[in-house]
Amino acid sequence: MADTPKEEGIVKTVSDAPPSHYVVKIQSVSLLRNNIDQYISDAFDVGGYKWKLVIHPNGNKNKKVNDHISLYLKLADTSNLHPGWEVHAVIRLFLYDQKKDNYYVVQDAEEKTRRFRAMKEEWGYDRFIVLTEFNNVSNGYVVDDVCVFGVEVSVRKEIKFPGRDCLTLIQDPVEDKLSWEIKDLNFRKDCYESNALQYWKIQIYPKGYEGGKGTHVSVYLALAEAKPSTQIYAEFIVRMIDQSNSNHISSSKPEKCWFNATNAAFGWPKFISIEEFRKPEYGYLVNGSCRVEAEIKVLGMAEPDAMISNNSAHDCKEIILT
């Protein structure tokens, strides 16, 4: 076998032992080369993970390779892995010499581990073997238009990083206005909820809630959908509208708060006394109808982000100004 170009950190050897984990036998190699740029094998299990072998019979064009076969191992199913996961594995890729009954093997020197992760699910060799060497009939890599590739995987460890946030701070927040009219409000029902607007909904407790129960109408601003590990930082104000135009005002003070799955609502148990709310001259309750408005500015959001570099500190937050 002629020498292939040397690549730093890569060892190319010959082995009598076949690959212990997976083999792909390709019939009609000529048709593969002429019709398919990339072949991805079925999934196979090693070390508790599913893998696939990826073959570029004419070289990986995305890497500008056209004179070698490119061969890679891909982690096939990452849906059940912890956010921020890494799987460290040693890989050996094989090509069967059918004449000599041995295997051409490419692997990293000193059994270097490769880090499979969300940003890099595939590892291997852009220049696994020179195409002229592979196609040379004097060698035994292709016999009767058939060739055989294989792989061994040694999983060394899985790293599960703690959850991390990507915090986005909004430089020029847009104000949303949520306007809600409750018709046929009665004091038998404990709670009314508005329809959702963007991330938000309003809750009204006509008989009061928490510290205002029995004496006050309680009003809350709440997340329409409280997603786990997602936080929204908002500035907001809530008003109860005087429908009689007598210029009575019942309004909260401007507030700023982080909303999340465990703190999904912020409000005022004693927003307005039930006595005042029911007085006709104030116009808050007219023919069983009341109106509430909220003005909301989202100032920032923090969401899980497994894409942050795994070299960063475990409690790292990426700050993005928009």
Given this model, what pLDDT does residue 314 score? 29
Task: Say which residue, 226 or 11, is predicted with more confidence.
Answer: 11
Given this model, what pLDDT does residue 27 score? 87
In a shared domain, residues 153 and 265: no
Q: Is residue 222 part of a domain?
A: yes
Return the CA Rg of the chain: 32
Q: 166 pairs with which residues across the strands?
A: 303, 318
Task: Say which residue, 317 or 80, is predicted with more confidence.
Answer: 80
Q: Is residue 3 part of a domain?
A: no
Q: How far apart are CA 117 and CA 75, in angstroms?
A: 9
Given this model, what pLDDT does residue 318 score? 33
- For 41-88, write each residue's pLDDT tens digit: 989 999 888 999 999 999 999 999 999 999 999 988 776 666 667 889
At a CB cut-off of 8 Å and minimum separation 6, what does 194 contact?
Answer: 178, 180, 201, 202, 203, 292
Q: What is the mean pLDDT of residues 109-134?
A: 90
Least confident of 116-125, 241-250, 277-286, 306-315: 306-315
Residues 308, 309, 310, 316, Cα dihedral to 10°: -60
Q: Is residue 237 part of a domain?
A: yes
Q: What is the mean pLDDT of residues 131-149?
A: 94
pLDDT band (50, 70, 90) for residue 165? low
Task: Say which residue, 241 or 83, is predicted with more confidence.
Answer: 241
Given this model, what pLDDT does residue 319 score? 28
Given this model, what pLDDT does residue 316 score? 29
In a shared domain, residues 172 and 297: yes
In a shared domain, residues 246 and 132: no
CB-CB contact of 16 with 129 (8 Å)? no
In a shared domain, residues 77 and 189: no
Residue with tokens 């005042």: 276
157-166, 201-210, 222-231, 313-322: which is most confident = 201-210
Q: What is the mean pLDDT of residues 168-180?
A: 82
Q: Which residue, of 126, 160, 194, is where some domain finishes?
A: 160
In a shared domain, residues 128 and 184: no
In a shared domain, residues 119 and 20: yes
At a CB cut-off of 8 Å and minimum separation 6, what does 322 contact?
Answer: 168, 169, 170, 171
Token pair of 137 as six digits? 């009939």
Q: Which residue, of 160, 191, 208, is where some domain finishes?
A: 160
Given this model, what pLDDT does residue 158 score? 66
In a shared domain, residues 156 and 177: no
CB-CB contact of 69 with 129 (8 Å)? yes
Least confident of 43-47, 250-254, 317-321: 317-321
Q: Is residue 5 part of a domain?
A: no
Given this model, what pLDDT does residue 82 score? 64
Q: How far apart are CA 74 and CA 56, in angstroms?
A: 13
- The predicted model scores a pTM of 0.51
CB-CB contact of 164 with 306 (8 Å)? yes
In a shared domain, residues 26 and 122: yes
At a CB cut-off of 8 Å and minimum separation 6, what does 245 contact?
Answer: 283
Q: What is the mean pLDDT of residues 255-272?
A: 92
In a shared domain, residues 214 and 155: no
- Which CATH number belongs to the domain containing residue 127 in this structure? 2.60.210.10
**For residue 6, pLDDT beyond 50:** no
Token pair of 94 as six digits? 């094989």
Given this model, what pLDDT does residue 107 score? 94
116-120, 227-231, 254-258: which is most confident = 254-258
Mean pLDDT value across the chain: 84
Q: Which residue, of 128, 160, 192, is where some domain finishes?
A: 160
In a shared domain, residues 149 and 180: no
Q: Is residue 118 part of a domain?
A: yes
Token pair of 46 as six digits? 């090693």
Given this model, what pLDDT does residue 60 score? 94
Q: How far apart are CA 257 and CA 4, in angstroms?
A: 63
Number of domains making up the chain = 2
Given this model, what pLDDT does residue 198 score? 81
Cα–Cα–Cα angle for 223, 228, 230, rounded to 5 degrees = 65
Task: Say which residue, 263 or 8, is predicted with more confidence.
Answer: 263
Q: Determine the structural domain holding residue 14 and report its residue range.
A: 10-160
Q: Is residue 210 part of a domain?
A: yes
Least confident of 8-12, 260-264, 301-305: 301-305
Q: Is residue 173 part of a domain?
A: yes
- DSSP-derived pairing of the beta strands 165-169 and 317-321: parallel
Q: How far apart are CA 188 and CA 256, in angstroms?
A: 32
In a shared domain, residues 77 and 147: yes
Token pair of 195 as six digits? 């329809």
Task: Give the rounded percent of residues in the chain with a pLDDT score beyond 70.
Answer: 86
Task: Say which residue, 165 or 176, is predicted with more confidence.
Answer: 176
Given this model, what pLDDT does residue 135 score? 94
Q: How far apart are CA 115 and CA 132, in angstroms?
A: 31
Q: Is residue 318 part of a domain?
A: no
Q: How far apart are CA 292 and CA 202, in angstroms?
A: 8
In a shared domain, residues 23 and 155: yes
Environment class of residue 27 by beta-carbon count within 10 Å: exposed (0-12), middle (13-18) or buried (19+)?
exposed
DSSP-assigned letter for residue 228: T
